[in-house]
Amino acid sequence: MKELCRKCSGVLFDKVLLDNGSIQINSETGSKVRLEREGEKMFFRCPYCGAKNVTIPCTSKDGLTQRKITHAE
Residues 24-71: tens digit of each pLDDT: 676 555 567 888 999 999 999 999 999 999 999 988 777 878 888 999
Q: What is the mean pLDDT of residues 1-20?
A: 86
CB 43 within 8 A of CB 57: no
Overall average pLDDT of the 17-21 stretch: 68
Predicted confidence band of residue 23 (pLDDT cuts 50, 70, 90): low
Give how far Cα 32 sits from Cα of 10, 13, 50, 58, Å.
Answer: 13, 8, 13, 23
pLDDT at 34: 87
Q: Look at residues 42, 41, 35, 46 and name the one whose alpha carbon lies nearest to residue 6.
A: 46
